[in-house]
Amino acid sequence: MIDAARLKESWNAVAQHGDQVPLHFYATLFLMYPETRQLFPVSLAAQRDRLVGALGQIVSDVDNLDALVPFLQHLGRDHRKFQVVTDHYPAVGAALLATLAHFLGPRWTDELARSWAEAYDVIASVMTGAAEDASRTEPPWWDAEVVSRELRTFDVAVLTIRPSHHYPYRPGQSVAVETPVRPRLWRYYSPANSPRVDNTLELHVRQVPGGLVSSALVQLVQVGDVLRLGAPVGARLTLDASQGRDLLLIAGGTGLAPLRALIEQVAAEGGRRRAVLVLGARTARELYDMRAVLELRDRLPWLTVLPVLSDDPLRGGPQAIAVDAARRFEPWHEYEVYACGSAEMVHGTVKSVVDAGVAPDRIHYEEFQSHQYPPAVIGAANVREHA
């Protein structure tokens, strides 16, 4: 049996060396198995933190299989989109053991080496097993052609893409997207529509200053380009059809996307609950999707739309941030609250709604931990590319 205490202790000792550990790991991996280099992007700065984060998580749960196994299974399934195959696992294992040996020096005994080798075998077999299971039901990634790209504001584009095969997702989930312009860099976006008959998805992309993928999607991607999509992830912003409470949806910027998809879902389910969409933006120009939103409002009698501007010099009248405007209307105690937008906006919104007395388990939002991996376990959001 795996000696959990010994693994944890040795990992903690190694982790004290910080960024040097993954740096050594990747250098070792690429020298021993040069063919693995092409699986990674040029810059590995973020990748190193994700590796250490995932390893730390695995080691800390090594004696808690109920948590560890689902984590590893997700990791294994998710790695298929990176074109990781079974053959890569022994390579990573060898580089990992070499790295541990390097940092532990004389403390790396034969016995400890055996414990780590056994633990790694278990980890690899759970991951590859899950990957194999998944490959029976879904492809490692979906190709999706860009059918339209509309620049709606200075820095927001709306892309319509058509996956080559049926793409099974639920409104509120996120999709990892890779562009041909920036291979091997994946970022998460939430479709702004519920599943359609023609299989198309609408992505709302704000160009994050300095963001590699978002700037490619907003500025460089052309109609006809083929993106890759990973399997849909996330359950923080999805909506349970069986539970029929009314909805308060608070959106900031492109955080509108998953919330619009939820409105479409309620419509598809027969519109049996009320929904109030509070749409926050700094200026009126930033309300980039009003045509679609107003079209929904006109069609759906149970939907109320409240655009809120926080700082528009062209408009007179009262200005506020979305959640403050929402709080002026109802107590919202009986509502399910969904919030999506920038980290700052979501953070402030959640705090304010909790202060207003809404039970925390009725507030739905995603955590922002972009250096963590994989996002499905800790949540993924629509606007989350780092500069």
Query: What is the smallest separation between the CB atom of 303 and another protein, expressed in angstroms?
Result: 30
Helix axis angle for 45-60 and 65-78, nearest 10°, is: 150
Nearer to another protein, 2 or 44 (CB): 44
Binding mask 266-295 for another protein (x = CB under 8 A): ------------------------------
Query: Could you check whether the bond before residue 374 is cis, i.e. omega within 30 degrees of 0?
Result: yes
In whole angstroms, give the CA distance from residue 378 to residue 247: 23
Binding mask 291-330 for another protein (x = CB under 8 A): ----------------------xx----------------
Binding mask 324-363 for another protein (x = CB under 8 A): -------------------xx--x----------------
Enclosing H/E stretch for 336:
strand 336-340
Amino acid code (one letter) for 246: D
Closest to 18 in 3D by CA, of 55, 61, 49: 49
Residue of 2, 6, 9, 15 interacting with another protein (CB under 8 A)? 15
DSSP-assigned letters across all residues of 155-201? SEEEEEEEESS-----TT-BEEEE-SSSTT-EEEE-BSS---TT--E
Within 10 angstroms of residue 330's Cβ, the number of other Cβ atoms is 13
Residue of 4, 54, 98, 300 interacting with another protein (CB under 8 A)? 98
Residue of 2, 4, 6, 28 interacting with another protein (CB under 8 A)? 28
Give residues 199-218 in contact with another protein (rule: CB under 8 A).
207, 209-212, 215-216
Which ranges constitute the DSSP H helices of 33-150? 45-60, 65-78, 88-104, 110-137
Nearer to another protein, 64 or 109 (CB): 109
- Return all residues near 355 (Cβ < 8 A) that are at least 6 apart: none
Dihedral sign for Cα 152, 348, 53, 18, please.
Answer: positive
Enumerate the β-bridge partners of residue 177. Answer: 187, 229
Binding mask 127-156 for another protein (x = CB under 8 A): ---------------------------xx-
Query: What is the smallest separation between the CB atom of 62 and another protein, expressed in angstroms?
Result: 18
Residue of 5, 27, 223, 354 interacting with another protein (CB under 8 A)? 27
Q: Which residues bind another protein (CB under 8 A)?
A: 15-20, 23-24, 26-28, 30-32, 37-38, 42-46, 48-49, 52, 94, 97-98, 101-102, 108, 110, 113, 154-155, 180-183, 207, 209-212, 215-216, 219-220, 313-314, 343-344, 347, 368-371, 386-387
